[in-house]
Structure 1
């Protein structure tokens, strides 16, 4: 499961770095991407900034990134409290 979460976070960062690309996500995800886009204007800076903001959000809330495929194509990203394993 850890690999999928890392890939989801990397995907959020890549999409966030593509300034013209919209991301399908909950309010927390879109706020992170929008914050990074406001702080930096080049994709080389935005991608690591999104990763940092995701890490900060996880640390502050105890939530992890989750994702759900919509009709097998689009991916919706969201944060959720960690489940007990």
Structure 2
């Protein structure tokens, strides 16, 4: 697909709109990688005591962030797809 890895906007039949990079396309779905700067709500898998966070590189406020999260959208729900400008 010519739009793979392009930044696009998608509107769906239920009135929602999504913007992100097209990460994957198969017969039934489009998968968008949607950018985010939100932190994880929980620190799952982290050491039990805060004093040990630093030795593992997870000092409070500096633990890994998820930069993109996937959103699968069925082809049947897509009513519009348009390219968006993306600047670094």
- Is the TM value for this pair above 0.5? no
Shorter-chain TM-score range: under 0.3
Which structure is richer in relative contact order (CA contacts within 8 A, separation 6 or more)? 2
**Hey, which of these two has a bigger chunk of helix by percent?**
1
